[in-house]
Chains A and B, each alone.
Chain A
Amino acid sequence: MTAAGMTAAGMTVAGGTAPGMTAAGVAEPGMTAAGVTEPGMAAAGTAAAGTADALPTLTAMSALAAGTFLLRLAGPALRTRVGFPERAERLLEVSAVLLLAALAATAALTEGHAFAGPARPLGVLVGGVLAWRRAPFLVVVLAAAGTAALLRVAGFP
């Protein structure tokens, strides 16, 4: 859908340029217009978010749902075909733990491509220590959020 939308936009630009095609110099502004498509796309994205029944966003969301289901299906489907030895099973359990630990670490410490600031990781650390000492789950989660919130009140980002 997005591809179709982009093509349509490209067609408009091309159509606009076509009458001026007689002068070779007009190709330059035409190129610039093509270059401008980037921010234009960003604007379209924001507009899509604004209405969000905007077809590209809805289509991408559906594709994410379908793709995620296929990823979930892939594991069991692979295993019934192949028949896994116990060692490989164990390896896969380890890799799941590895992924979850990395997810927790990156979600705790980073925001986008940068450090998230001290409040969130310290909150998660407090939650982690409580969990290690076998505190109830809700205590762990609320302590993590509460610590981060208090640190932010104190002025830490």
Chain B
Amino acid sequence: MGGTLPRDIALVCLAVGVIGVSYGALAVTSGFPWWFPVLMGALVLAASSEFLFVGIIAAGGSPIAALLAGLLVNARHVPFGLAVPDVLGKGWRGVLGTHLMNDETVVFALAQDEPERKRAAYWLCGLGILVCWPAGAALGALLGSVVRDTGALGLDAMFPAVILALTLPALRSRPLRRTALTGSALALAVTPFLPAGLPILVALAALPLCTVGAGEGAVR
């Protein structure tokens, strides 16, 4: 695994750690004990669903609502898993490999050409995130009383920027870009009316726009 890949992965893990800091801080300032975001970070390992879970409980929502919203957001892992089954490994290794599946690891795996590079990128990124996300959350929980307004530091702009930067290589293909823009517009249009998490799934309605094969080799 040469080139800029290890450096790119390290930077992504660092960014995830920084997002973890804002997550830990959010959880603690919402009244959770310091270990809760750390434990949840390690066990769930899916940032947006954890933000949502903590946010809903903090707003006075029921744990059931928080659970359902979290599961809804994480439903995107089903197509993720269909896209990268070869990198996961078998047996106990496969259990860990499955647990490491998330936005970043899948994008990194899809961006590689050869199976061996796919696997290496997936695991390096996944293990890095498994360490950095809970560690960032722990740091954020400790800093929680200091950095009260994470918005003032622009930390909320980091998460979408991370996802956008990781998806851009695929979006250089015109048909795929058109499909993604339409899907995003659909998701944004229904956001005021649907429960959190659902709008993202609504974006799948744009799928017919991208005729399979038209964007030959687009996911790079």
Contacts and interface: CB of A to CB of B under 8 A. Distances in A.
Contacts of B103: 100, 103
Contacts of A150: 154
A64 B53 contact: yes
Place the interface of chain A in its size category.
Answer: 35 or more
Given A98-B179, A136-B11, A152-B151, A124 B188 contact: no
Interface in B175-209: 176, 179-181, 183-188, 191-193, 196, 199-204, 206-207
Place the interface of chain B in its size category.
Answer: 35 or more
Interface of B: 8, 11-12, 14-15, 18, 30-33, 36, 39-40, 43-46, 48-49, 53, 57-58, 60-64, 66-67, 70-71, 74-83, 85, 88, 98-99, 101, 103, 106-107, 110, 151-168, 170-171, 176, 179-181, 183-188, 191-193, 196, 199-204, 206-207, 210, 212-213, 215, 218-219
10 tightest Cβ-Cβ pairs between the two chains A and B = A75-B81, A148-B154, A102-B203, A60-B63, A144-B161, A123-B157, A149-B154, A127-B161, A105-B184, A145-B154
Interface of A: 2, 41-43, 45-46, 48-53, 56-57, 59-65, 67-69, 71-80, 84, 87, 89-110, 112-114, 116, 119-120, 123-124, 127-128, 131-132, 136-138, 140-141, 144-150, 152-153
